[in-house]
Structure 1
Amino acid sequence: MRVRNRQKVILEMAQGATLLTVEDVAEQLHVSRETIRRDFASLDAQGLLRRVHGGAKPTVNATSEEPFHAREELNIGCKNAIARAAAALIQRGETLMIDTGSTTQAFARALADDLELTVITNSLRIADILSHSTARRDIYVLGGEFRPDTQQTLGTFCLDQLDRFRADHTIIGVGAISRTGDLMDYDPQEAQLARAMIARARKTTVLADHSKFDSYALTGLCRFDDINRIVTDAPATDEFARLARSFDVEIVVGNAD
């Protein structure tokens, strides 16, 4: 069996599986374990499988993600830990750009009620959350193509308006972070807006729970040299920590309840 055909079979075997072991796959395909290790390494490099000790795991579908309402219920404790840690980094009177996402919504809820802020966002939900405050908050909602499922605006009009603003911080969520320092998202328009926000702020903070690491999504968003900080819910691996240090990216770990 040719390499390409064998790897195609391996990917078919991975569908619906939680783990492929080197031994099982080698036995089923009648090849050596070393051959399967090479196949796993090749598929891992392409983002099609994730190598783990003794085998490989299927990656999350890189072309789509769960509906927004489902994402809001996923890893809630992790997102709240991230939100609290990120909110503690914000100072009174600062200007924030915040994109749409389940974790950025949690961040908006975690901000102190008496914290005076200026906020630019494309999320109607985040604007509404932040408007219920005892402190003065100047909130600017970007106009554009409206998406009812996520309650956000996107597109050319949105980008044109964003160009008028500058901020102290951009706060964004991402769909995936690769082991080589690539940050990705599932929606090209959302990635485009996030890139524009990054370009218009002094500092950028990425909110990402542990499930986003060592994974892939459809659209490239930026690289480590475009951001300043990642707030997450679990300690980074040694490999990832070294990578972050090489780009002078700070990793902040939030504490769960």
Structure 2
Amino acid sequence: MMNDLRVDVLANLVKHHRRISLTAAADILGMGFDELTVLAQALSVREDYELFENSICYLLPQSQDSYRVRLRTHYIEKYAIGRLAASFFKKGDHAIVESGSTMTILAQHLAQVEQIKVSTNSYAVASMIIGAETAADVHVVGGNLYADGQGSLGPIALAAVEGLEADWGVISPVGLSVDGELMYYVEEEAKFAQAIMASCKRTMFLCDSSKFGVPSRYFAGTCAQADMLIVDSGVEQSILANLITKGLKEVHVADVDAEASSEIVLLDL
């Protein structure tokens, strides 16, 4: 009975975080790694949980945290991913960027790309780039403005994106399932991501490690449809190898430990 209660405690922790490393879970619960691993193995028998090498995830879709919370959650990982992603853009490239906390953090780096042109449905992304006072060309996609950082969506936004021909599409799904499915919690966001992928020569998707193995409600595509994944170094290599077998073309890993805190500016939008 006592062991069942401890598994329930771990279950609630995993459900809260959606995906958590066994090391972090052991630290939070104040127990040894081996002891936590035994509990994780017992939890993975339950239908709604899946155990990886050093992490465990909750498989049922959950509502997203607020935009302000997401902007500060896994910030260093998103910053490292954004910096690496921006390095693939060349002078004068045109990118279509969706809304979201990861995209807002990416915008800090995109603003430094010479003569970059950005089309986005996110006012936060546009504001970040314009505020950098560089020579970037920013086009804001109109449509129905959704609350909580979701940007402009709906038929007008879709039509605007479908009329663009960009060098890069940049998306950041809510979750990436174990089968390589790009998932969103809001249907309109999934449709917008699909439109971006259809309108661009190449697509990169950005996912911090907390999103791996975590499904959501609406399917936007598969990792095989994208040209490049950029992730932080917190993802197990076996997970990345599995995505390659699913058709993922390129994987680039951002080294979180290499980020100097003095270079990072927390956003307050």
TM-score (norm 1): 0.79
Cα shift at 1:61: 5.4
Residue matched to 1:142? 141
Whole-angstrom CA distance in 2 between matches of 1:23 and 1:112: 47
Moved more, 232-241 or 141-150: 232-241
Conserved? CA contact 1:235–1:253, under 8 Å = no
Q: 1:237 to 1:146 in 2, by over 3 A?
A: same
Q: 2:18 matched to which residue of 1?
A: none
Alignment of 1:120 with 2:116, yes or no, is no
For residues 17-74 of structure 1, give each alpha carbon's deviation from its aligned partner in whole angstroms, at most 9, with x where no partner exists: 458989779xxxxxxx9xx78x817x1xxxx2122579x9561751311111110010
Seq. identity, %: 22
Conserved 8 A contact 1:183-1:223: yes
Indicate yes or no: 2:45 matched with 1:40. yes
Residue 254 of structure 2 corresponds to residue 254 of structure 1: yes
Unaligned runs of 5+ in 2: 1-6, 15-24, 26-34, 260-269
Matched, 1:242 2:241: yes
Q: What CA distance in whole angstroms lies between the structure 2 residues aligned with 1:125 and 1:95?
A: 18
Aligned counterparts of 1:241 and 1:57: Cα–Cα separation in 2: 15
Secondary structure at the aligned position of 2:12 is classed as coil
Unaligned runs of 5+ in 1: 1-10, 26-32
Residues 65 and 133 (structure 1), Cα distance of their counterparts in 2 relative to 1, 3 Å cut? closer
Partner SS state of residue 183, structure 2: strand
- Which is higher, the Rg of structure 1 or of structure 2? 1
For 2:228 and 2:197, the matched residues in 1 are separated by: 12
Preserved contact between residue 202 and residue 227 of structure 2 (Cα < 8 Å): yes
Q: Deviation digits for residues 84-135 of structure 1, max 9, x if unmatched?
A: 1001111110010000011111111112536102211100111111123454
The amino acid that maps onto 2:254 is G
1 CA distance for matches of 2:87 and 2:71? 22
- Equivalence for 2:105: 106
Opposite residue 249 of structure 2, the aligned amino acid is: V
- Distance in structure 1 (CA, Å) of the matches to 2:112 and 2:38: 56
Please state whether the residue corresponding to 2:99 is helix, strand or coil: coil
Query: Partner of 2:221: helix, strand, or coil?
Result: strand
CA shift, 1:255, in A, is 2.2
Q: Secondary structure at the match of 1:194?
A: helix
CA pair 102-24 structure 1, distance change in 2 beyond 3 A: closer
- TM-score calculated relative to the size of structure 2: 0.76
Counterpart residue number, 2:85: 86
Q: Is the 8 A contact 2:130 2:138 kept in 1?
A: yes
C-alpha distance in structure 1 between counterparts of 2:63 and 2:221, whole Å: 19
Aligned equivalents of 1:24, 1:106: Cα separation in 2: 36
- Work out whether 1:216 is the aligned partner of 2:215: yes
Q: Tell me the equivalent position of 1:30.
A: none
Change in CA separation of 1:180 and 1:134 when aligned onto 2, cut-off 3 Å? same
Provide the residue aligned with 1:50 in structure 2: 50
**Residues in 1 aligned to 2:53 and 2:244: alpha-carbon distance in whole angstroms:** 25
